[in-house]
Amino acid sequence: MEKVLLVRYTEIHLKGLNRPYFERALISNMKRALHGLDPKIEREQGRIYVRGISEERFDEALDRLTRVFGIHSISPAEAVDKDWETVVQAALKLMEKRLSSPDAGTSFKVFARRSDKRYFMNSDTINKELGGRVLERFPELHVDVHKPEIKLSVEIREKAYIYCEEIPGAKGMPTGTAGAASLLISGGIDSPVAGYMMAKRGLTLSAVHFYSYPYTSERARDKVVELTKLVSRYAGEIKLFLVPFTDIQMTIYEKCPEKETTVLMRRLMMKIAERIARGEGAMALITGESLGQVASQTLEALCVTNDAVSMPVFRPLIGFDKDEIMDIARRIGTYETSILPYEDCCTVFVPKHPVTKPKLDELRASEARVDFSEMIEKAIADTEIMLIK
Ligand code: ATP
Ligand code: MG
């Protein structure tokens, strides 16, 4: 008997001729996620099988795979010889284990699939025979063909695979199959969620963070590094650019109208992020903005921000309520880190009365009155790069 992880994948089947490309990307992401666990990964008839994981690390492997995008669901399965009595005994053992949990239920159904057409029983017969043996052994159970609480699956292939659990995967598309984009990451709740959502659509991420020593602390920066790490559990390796922003921010603060400072700051962040993104081969920027959430996220403000760059800006949270964003943050495990209280550079310099309907001409004019070009070059030159795995 051998423990195997049976992996089903998502929308990839829609991709026609590109399908092998998506499958290869998924397998390579799975290999990366299972690094150090010596997996043997094989693709077969629309499924991926992970073998060779040691018993002690089997649950860890399963847990890691639940964060790989492109996976629809995972079933921990027992692989045994196709000899019928062996199959029955393995199935009964699995049912026994399942029934030892108090909420296992009392109804079941057998789902047989026979890929090996030479096997001496067809699916219907397997269903009936195995169902009978289960009832004989566990008389307290009954068969429910419509809504069974326990689904006992048997697949007859080159071996027999038996399982009764289906654990949901992270869904989405394999990371790396949709190109690359740069995430503007702050220490807040929203941007890590935004990064997660776009990686889920197949984008490879790099990340750009602006900090303002000494107005923001070392710990605020550590927090961003930690958040990037948490996102990388899903998105894979992320190159994080830490950009010193104090000079630019102080200059905006001293030389520009106070009510415009936030939007001007956002424009300069976007410009620098776009430069970094280009250098990385990224074709879009990602932010955690949501319409109307704060003064700098009105439609007018977003238009003024967009005007600073020519790359598309993805805002996957644009139509989400804060509650909905917080739910995702909790689910993906970034929330607890995001709410740590360290100051962000945006919160240090908040104007008392920010413009909520900035006018593009006015903002452009305010920005043009100051020559930021040297400061931008210096910020980029002094940027620190970290590879987050
Ligand atoms: P978040 O929860 O992501 O901080 P927010 O609701 O606090 O978002 P803002 O502070 O206005 O909103 O920031 C909007 C977006 O701008 C962020 O989601 C992020 O993408 C980007 N951003 C803000 N501050 C920074 C920063 N210091 N470095 C990089 N990007 C930033
Ligand atoms: Mg913020």
Same domain, 151 and 290: no
Those residues whose beta carbon sits under 5 angstroms from the ion ligand 2 are 186, 188
137, 248: one domain: no
pLDDT value, residue 295: 79
Do 216 and 106 belong to one domain?
Answer: no
**Residue 344 CB–ligand 1 contact under 6 Å:** yes
Strand order of the sheet with strand 180-184? 313-314, 284-286, 180-184, 204-211, 238-244, 384-388
162 with 212, same domain?
no
Give the pairing type, strands 160-163 and 71-80. Answer: antiparallel
pLDDT on residue 14: 60
Instruction: Average the pLDDT over 351-361 and give the result.
Output: 89
Which ligand 1 atom sits nearest the alpha carbon of residue 290?
Answer: 6
Is 175 contained in some domain?
A: no
Is residue 341 domain-shared with residue 204, that is, in the same domain? yes
pLDDT band at 346 (very low <50, low <70, confident <90, very high): low
Answer yes or no: is the C-beta of 296 below 6 A from any ligand 1 atom. yes
Name the residue at shortest CA distance from atom 16 of ligand 1: 287
Does 83 map to a domain? yes
Which pLDDT tens digit goes with each residue over 217-250?
889 999 999 999 999 999 999 999 999 999 999 9
- Does the beta carbon of 189 lie inside 6 Å of ligand 1? yes
Structural domain count, the chain: 2
Average pLDDT in the 59-82 region?
96
Domain coverage including residue 21: 2-168
- Residue 168 CB-density burial (10 A; 0-12 exposed, 13-18 middle, 19+ buried): exposed
CATH code: domain of residue 148: 3.30.2130.30
